[in-house]
Amino acid sequence: MKKTAVLVIMCLIVSLLAACGRVETPPVDGDFTSNPFDYEAPPDVLGSVSHAPDTQDPLEYTGGELRVPYLATGEGTGRSVGFLLFLDGIPQPYRLNGEGEYAYMHPFTLGEDNTEEHFSFVFVPVTGRAGDTVTLTVADLFNAGFEPDMVSSSSFGLYGNAVTGSYPISFSSDPEPDAPEGKTLAALSGVSVKNELMTARFVEENLGPQIGMSTGDGETREDKLDENVYVFDTFDGKEELNDIEITGRDTLHIAVDICGIPGLTYRVSFFADNTPMTDGEDIFREVTLEKGKAARVEADLTLADLPEAVTTYYAAVCAVGGEKDDIRGFQLIKTRSVPIWDGDRLDGSGASPDDRDGSGGNAGTVLAAPEVMDSAVRSLWYGEGGTVLVRRSDGLRLVDMSSGEVLAEGPVPGLKSVTFHPIAGGFCAVGEAEENGGTAALTPDGSGTVGTVCVFLDSSLSELDRFSLSAVAGGDKNIMCAAVSPDGRYAAFSVMNDGIYLYDRETRKVTLPLDFRGGSDGNGGVTMATGLWFSEDSSKLIFSDNTHFGSVGLDGEGLACAGFDGFDPQGPVGYAGGKMLFNESFFTASGAMAVADVDSLTYAVYRHSAPEGAGDLFVSRDGGYFATAAFDGSLTVRVYGTRDDSLRLEYTVTDENEDAFDAAPGILILDDLKLCVVKTGGFSDVPARVTVLSFE
């Protein structure tokens, strides 16, 4: 039968977040036929996950890259997965679905609860020869996207457990000698391996707390050690359960002790942020258990080599081979995940001071808002340069933010759910047409099909032109999002399971720069667009499908697209100046966000506090800054530099009327003027309040 790794986390005492986990590690055999998801979860489940090979055939390596079809299902926090692979106990880098770079882990989020997701691991084996049978061990770290930030969380608690399964691979060919390598971290020195007689102190300090053993147990003690395997990790000779502060230190001595069933051989690897650590040469050490002895692998960890202010550490103890009955249940033993953090690199937001601009000042200055930005404001929109379009209950106003002068005013177009796009010499309003609004005149053919409408305004906010995108699309398509080019010539819109369409206002022709109807082939894996913009020079379409980002020429040429490795996005929240912002999936919500460079197809992941990561993000007019918004009975706005995540402004908006914080704020950032404009309230019967802040 097909063997499946299963983990169920139960919340027994919700107020204390107490929980117990159950890991069922399958026997090692070649029978892969049963349904791995045929189990019933217990009540009060916090999360669960199951995974297994997605094939009924034995796994065989015949040369080149090996593709292992795999499937998983999850529920709750178990849907956040990250797989580590080991071949005969050696960490194995791989490509997920054969895409991207080789790495030792590729975290991602499964689909809906309890729904099978199919994917594959693709790799060139790091060990094995023709005629060998090696053991592939697959370990999923439960809720892999969660990482403590030492601000909102300081330990892994229930998370970090390994959900493992092991499967044989027969080799009919030798692997290629120059196999692709994953990134490792050369942060270890003085690595040593030894087997020493267990002392009374070792028994009392290690086996005592874990299994209640004492030095007076006699034969009972030996029987227990002949039937089980026990692993202990220490830091500078001490056990640490939650986190380790290393502020001002140079090294940390790490050690793993293993004792139990005599004759079993294990390979031990140390990990930092899911990356194997080395001493410049090896990424594992091998030990064989002996009766009455404890095997120890130890090393000095050079703390300056850790890449982050908070680094997750653990060790993986993985069996070599696995044909023996003795090894069942002990194939992979992972130590607890422990955050190692440096207080000198960690400030109150969870970000590293090394990433700041060094100015030390971020309080900002509160400026008087223009008179027109009063309690009647409903929304704020970017204009050209240093202008802001103010939508009020009584109409539109275009304001020069450097002087506060009102440059133009006009009526609000009769549209629902309207957004305003700045274009050369004016604006384009995009929204749903209200009923009885002369709809036939909106369509090029007078058919009366309306739906999504574009209304073009000049610099005086007078209407120039309007037409129905829905009519352009044929009237029966589901428009997911739309964009207008900065030069005002083009409108683009995305249709679910169809493509990205382009409408030329001059020629009144519709083209299809990106076709999704043939699936993901030729589309860089993108099958829909949930975010759509034009480049600043109106020459390209910028798009995202929540997990990818990229661009394509207006003629459909030059498609460029990339995804994320090690970051689980919720979706795009804005684009400007060649930069696209992504919030983190709410299933992980560790406080991370990403800034993607569309031109170079690269991205940077920034980590702030969890409330920010789960909240709203706002990109500046020209893309040089972004803002986060955190709610807690008030609104705390932080402005960061997009290039380096440098904190430029932190300000808390309070209001006696707490209803003002019941909806997302409006936040604009004007790059050249170094102004942040924040609107709270302005909906239903809640009056608006606009706060204007300057920053350096």
> Which range has the worst mean pLDDT, 115-129, 215-229, 257-271?
215-229
pLDDT in tens, 33-56: 333 334 344 444 457 889 999 999
Q: What is the pLDDT of residue 364?
A: 72
Q: Answer whether residue 193 shows pLDDT above 60.
A: yes
Q: In this structure, which amino acid lies at residue 318?
A: C
pLDDT of residue 27: 32
What percent of the chain has a predicted confidence (pLDDT) above 90? Answer: 50
Correct CATH for 184-346 of 3.50.50.60, 3.40.50.300, 2.60.40.3880, 3.40.50.2300: 2.60.40.3880
Superfamily of 5-176 according to CATH: Immunoglobulins (2.60.40.10)
Ranges of each domain in the chain: 5-176, 184-346, 365-694
Q: If pLDDT is split at 50, 70 and 90, which confidence band does 347 have?
A: low
Give the closest residue to 49 by CA, choosing from 19, 78, 80.
78
Highest averaged pLDDT of the listed ranges 607-611, 654-658, 673-677: 673-677
Q: Tell me: pLDDT of 201 over 60.
A: yes
Report CA dihedral (231, 237, 242, 245) to the nearest 10 degrees: -140
Phi first, then psi: what are they for 257, rounded to 5°? -110, 135
Which one has a higher pLDDT value, 587 or 647? 647
In this model, does residue 629 exceed pLDDT 60? Answer: yes
Asked if the domains at 5-176 and 184-346 fall in one CATH topology, the answer is yes
Provide the pLDDT for residue 300: 97
Confidence bin at 570 (pLDDT 50/70/90) = confident
Secondary-structure class of domain 365-694 per CATH: mainly beta
Residues near 579 by Cβ (< 8 Å), separated by ≥ 6? 595, 596, 597, 598, 619, 623, 642
- pLDDT at 362 > cutoff 70: no
Highest mean pLDDT among 178-187, 381-390, 442-451, 628-637: 381-390
Q: Is the pLDDT of residue 4 over 70?
A: no
Taking the C-alpha atoms of residue 521 and residue 262, their distance in angstroms, rounded to an integer, is 53
Query: Which pLDDT score is estimated for 38?
Result: 40
Please return the burial class of 33, using the count of CB atoms within 10 Å of its CB with bins 0-12, 13-18 and 19+: exposed
Segment (H or E) for 469: helix 469-472
Query: What's the whole-number mean pLDDT along residues 619-641?
Result: 89
Band of pLDDT at residue 323, cut at 50, 70 and 90: very low
Mean pLDDT, residues 265-280 taken together: 95
- Pick the range with the lowest mean pLDDT from 216-225, 602-611, 614-623: 216-225
Task: Output the CA–CA distances (angstroms, integers) from residue 411 to 202, 433, 461, in the order listed.
Answer: 80, 15, 8
3-state per-residue secondary structure call for 639-655: EEECCCCCEEEEEEECC
**Structure tokens given for 254:** 């790490």
Which of 217-231, 430-444, 570-584 bottoms out in mean pLDDT, i.e. has the lowest?
430-444
pLDDT value at residue 153: 66
Percent of the chain exceeding pLDDT 70 equals 80
Tokens 């044909």 belong to 323
Give the DSSP letter string of 571-608.
EEEEEETTEEEEEEPTTT-SSEEEEEETTTTEEEEEE-
Tell me what pLDDT residue 239 has.
Answer: 83
d(CA 132, CA 170): 6
Per the listing, tokens 């997965």 go with 81
Look at residue 522 and tell me whether its pLDDT is greater than 70.
no
Residue 555: pLDDT band by 50, 70, 90 thresholds?
Answer: very high
Which pLDDT does position 458 carry in this prediction? Answer: 95
Integer Cα distance of 666 and 389 in angstroms: 12
Cβ atoms of 676 and 695 within 8 Å: the answer is yes
Q: 155-190 burial by CB neighbour count: b if 16+ within 10 A, else e?
A: bbbbbbbbbbbbbbbbbebebeeeeeebebbebbee
Mean pLDDT of the chain: 82
Q: How many CB atoms lie within 10 A of CB 685?
A: 6
Distance, CA of 532 to CA of 542 (rounded, Å)? 6
| Mean pLDDT, residues 551-557 | 94
SS3 content of the chain, % helix, strand, coil (to 5): 10, 45, 45
Sheet of strand 569-576: strand arrangement: 569-576, 579-584, 592-597, 602-607
Residue 7's pLDDT band, with cuts at 50, 70 and 90, is low
Q: For residue 547, what are its two tokens?
A: 């997990």
The span from the CA of 452 to the CA of 468, in Å, is 6
Q: How much is the pLDDT for 22?
A: 31
Q: Which of 30-39, 182-191, 343-352 is most confident?
A: 182-191
- pLDDT band at residue 297, thresholds of 50, 70 and 90? very high
